[in-house]
A and B are shown apart, each in its own frame.
Chain A
Amino acid sequence: MHMPAYFEYGCGVKIVAGHDALEHIPEMLARLGAKRPLIVTDPGVAGAGLVDILTAAIKDRITIGGVEDGVPPDSSIQTVVAIAEAYRRQTCDALIAIGGGSVLDTAKGVNILVSEDSDDLLAFRGSGTVKRPLRPLLAVPTTSGTGSETTLVAVIKDETRHRKMAFASPFLIPDAAVLDSRMTLNLPPVITASTAMDAMTHAIEAYTCLAKNPLSDVGALNAVKLISRHLPQVMATPEDAEGRLALALAATLAGMAFGNSMVGMVHNIGHALGGVCGVPHGSCMAMLLPYGLEYNHHKNGHLTADLLVPLAGADTYARTPPERRADTVIHMIRELNESLHQACEGRYPRFLKEVRNAGGAQAVPRDALPRVVRAALDDAAILFNPEDLDYDDYILVLEHAWDGRPLDRSLIRRGP
């Protein structure tokens, strides 16, 4: 057990999970004193029929004030203000956010405005500016990856200044995260695989990077175990509701872990790769995860070795010589990526050179790597990575990840 000199751990969101968790929403809202929720979602979620599933589950017992289904992929202040107006116009008293990170961030922003009776969202930017409980907010995730249903942060774009603004407060944490297997049952294979590997990366970086703590450690290990056990089953049998629910729980566990322990270079490079080349976040995580573990091996190989227990079981851990455990973990993650690539008939990329954009062109040309590095050098997620990276180190990692070669560890410059 690793006890840091100082750490914090908390996750105030109530977790309600099950195959009919949605049916509990009216009772949860009643306990929170709400009777007329506004549903906030995006066109993709609405088009997939998920809002219909939710409304069918609750409409007999509660009046739905309205459905706002126009949240864009990057939430904006303009969107937040418009939905807050709809909330007031329809005399709603609670919010149900159905979707991923952007939808939830939008709902958090709306909640600030309607609870504080304001139209000026920017007045509440930064940390700790929201100082009292807001209206009831329930989060219903529709992918098993981001874990944003557990966080106290919202990131919303200020379109006039072309900047993303962060809002952080304990009062932004949703009152509950409702995890229902029906919400992810029809996710396409590539999204299922990449979002699950996003959650896997949250858990593994939380466990192996510098800000780890004993509570997030247990959540992270449980998340890795659930994903490694259930992801292959769900890929083989997409209608496996038990497996879908397990992946949803794993994503929430991983969100709780990294929300308290931060992440490392995989997220750092992934943020840059997403920003520069538009590669989906989950794909970035999956492709880069083995490289992050290889690069940090000389600093945290003993922690990577521990992951063999949730990945392969205690018996395999005991049978594997200690000096080979970390390498076995890295090999297993590469094997998992390979099997997901096969299961998705090649649409799940293993290496950067395999990523295609919507038009079918290569999304990460090799000559884009220097721009990715420059963006990574400006990203704060690197702060808790065990080993430092400078420009050349990033290039080393990215070139290997582009080709799909295991990292040549003899080339890594070892810091103190």
Chain B
Amino acid sequence: MQLPDQLEFSCPVKLLYGRRALEHLPYEFGARNVRRPLLLSDEDAVRENRMRALTDALRASEIELGAVEPPAQGIDLDLVHELAAIYRDRDHDALLVMGGGALMDLAKLVNIVVSTGQDDPAGFGASNGIAQRLKPMALIAPAAASGGEASGHVKADRIELQSIHLMPDLAVIDERTVGAPDQKAVLNAGLTALAFGVEAMLGAKRNPMVDIYAANAVQMAMAALQSAAEMPVALTTRMLTASATVMAGCILAGKAPGKLHRLGTCLAATGRLSFSEALGVLLPAAVTLEAHKHGRVPARLLSALMGLERSSGTPVGQRSLLAATALMSLLNDLYRLTEGRLPRNLRDAGFEPDDLAAVCAAFDETAGDGDQDAAMVMLQQALDGKPNQSGC
């Protein structure tokens, strides 16, 4: 691995994974002087009565849990202020989130308000404007996650923020609270985590610290996606998916998203496929392109995708083709598994060659030199999903 001349890395998230992980929360809360956390839970958690396991785990402790189930609506500032008022009025000292996606975004905004006293989180600017530590926050991670839960990103109600201080202090993955989502939700979460991991291992900013989370995101997501055919989705698969999405959040941290992420956002904005599906169909092309740009695919990425035994004998020159092929093979399997509902390529999602220019035009205007050309190359390769060893 080529080490960068300068390296900065930070991940404040402590992961508690596995059997009876919730039972470790009282110790972790105690070490952070937390006595009265406010629990925010989503409707899936309520419907599946996941709070029961949490209250059981906290029963013998001195933790006094308050709970709110925010309405399942879009996030607006009124709701943020309403929850912040509850937090203050009931003298809470931490946030505990049972759920993913928008609920975690909501919790991050509430934390900004109760920690800084500023009513308008947007006032902190888009990037790294939050300078202080916020109140302790713990995520009880679900399998049906967006991948951004453990990150330092918030995107809600015209507010877009990035800060390392928005990352949760704790991410708990417990068998009783990962939930029982449908197959599609697990596949979406797995594809997102896989893409975050692959992009981090390919990029110029790769470093051995980020690798810890990236390699695990890839390995866990691959294992989960390859076993997602089982119905109902097995507990092991759901645990792996939840873990992979926490890894994805740690990779993203408080940094700006990468090219693959931004192009996926543009594709999803067309409404023809979801963000996760967009990332999935772009992945083989992203591997080929980055390999062409940087000269090679890291052996660690190939190992994370295929296992050490299968990947170790591959000559350096063939790694990118093998990695892209492994990803295409996965997409083909998922296409068959979902009877065509999960696209293998952009044509499966209804795109034609003439559609690509519009997507490219929408690609982040702040992209660096050459990124828009790279976006078109990726889109063209993703159209039919054929690996191209030359990368262009």
Contact = CB atoms under 8 A, between A and B. Distances in A.
Contacts of A309: 299, 303, 308, 312
Interface string A6-22: 11111111111111010
A18 B5 contact: yes
Contact of A9 (B14, B239, B303): B14
Contacts of B308: 306, 309, 317
B212 A132 contact: no
B3 A222 contact: no
Given A8-B16, A132-B33, A218-B211, A15 B216 contact: no
A319 to B, nearest CB: 8
Given A9-B14, A253-B208, A17 B27 contact: no
Contacts of A218: 211-212, 215-216, 300
Nearest to B27: A128
A68 B216 CA distance: 42
A17 B10 CA distance: 12
A7 B18 contact: yes
A246 B7 CA distance: 11
A219 interface: yes
A19 B5 contact: yes
Contacts of B27: 128
Given A14-B8, A219-B208, A314-B311, A6 B3 contact: no
A194 interface: no
B15 A8 contact: yes
A317 B19 contact: no
A79 interface: no
Nearest to B16: A8
A191 interface: no
A243 to B, nearest CB: 10
Contact of B223 (A1, A127, A222, A225): A1
Contacts of A238: none
Contacts of B231: none
B275 interface: no
A18 B12 CA distance: 21
A133 B239 CA distance: 32
A5 B18 contact: yes
Contact of A249 (B7, B131, B219): B7
Contacts of A19: 5
Interface in A209-262: 213-215, 218-219, 222-223, 225-226, 242, 245-246, 249, 253, 256
A5 B19 contact: yes
A93 to B, nearest CB: 15
A185 B11 CA distance: 28
A6 B16 CA distance: 8
B32 interface: yes
A31 B131 CA distance: 6
Contacts, number: 123
B28 to A, nearest CB: 8
B1 A222 contact: yes
- Give the interface size bracket for A toward B: 35 or more
Contacts of B211: 218, 222
Interface residues of B, number: 47
Interface in A1-56: 1, 3-19, 21, 31, 33
A128 B16 CA distance: 17
Contact of A133 (B8, B133, B313): B133
Contacts of A323: none
Nearest to A130: B31
A10 B8 CA distance: 17
B367 interface: no
A143 interface: no
B236 to A, nearest CB: 8
A206 B300 CA distance: 19
A19 to B, nearest CB: 7
B209 A215 contact: no
Contact of B3 (A13, A21, A215, A242): A242
Given A4-B18, A219-B208, A315-B313, A169 B31 contact: yes
A245 B3 contact: yes
B213 interface: yes
Contact of B313 (A225, A249, A318): A318
A404 interface: no
Contacts of A274: none
Contacts of B300: 218
A131 interface: yes
B15 A6 contact: no
A66 interface: no
B170 to A, nearest CB: 8
Contact of A17 (B7, B24, B223): B7
B17 interface: yes
Given A9-B15, A17-B7, A249 B31 contact: no
Contacts of A280: none
B32 A10 contact: no
B391 to A, nearest CB: 22
B297 to A, nearest CB: 12
Given A1-B219, A315-B313, A249 B15 contact: no
A253 to B, nearest CB: 6
Contact of B312 (A3, A21, A131, A314): A314
B331 interface: no
Contacts of B223: 1
Contact of A10 (B14, B18, B313, B314): B14
Contacts of A313: 299
Contacts of B292: none
Contacts of A13: 10
A19 B212 CA distance: 23
Nearest to A219: B212
Contact of B209 (A3, A9, A133, A253): A253
Contacts of A170: 14, 31-32
A309 B302 CA distance: 13
Given A131-B32, A222-B211, A16 B8 contact: yes
B80 interface: no
Interface string A136-173: 00000000000000000000000000000000011000
B204 to A, nearest CB: 16
B30 interface: yes
A15 B31 contact: no
B40 interface: no
A128 B313 contact: no
Given A10-B14, A19-B5, A315 B312 contact: yes
5 closest residue pairs by CB, A with B: A10-B14, A318-B313, A6-B18, A131-B33, A14-B10
Given A249-B208, A314-B314, 8 more contacts: A6-B18, A7-B17, A8-B15, A10-B15, A18-B5, A131-B32, A214-B216, A319-B313
7 contacts: A6-B20, A12-B14, A15-B209, A18-B6, A214-B220, A218-B216, A222-B212
Interface of A: 1, 3-19, 21, 31, 33, 127-128, 131-133, 169-170, 213-215, 218-219, 222-223, 225-226, 242, 245-246, 249, 253, 256, 306, 309, 313-315, 317-319
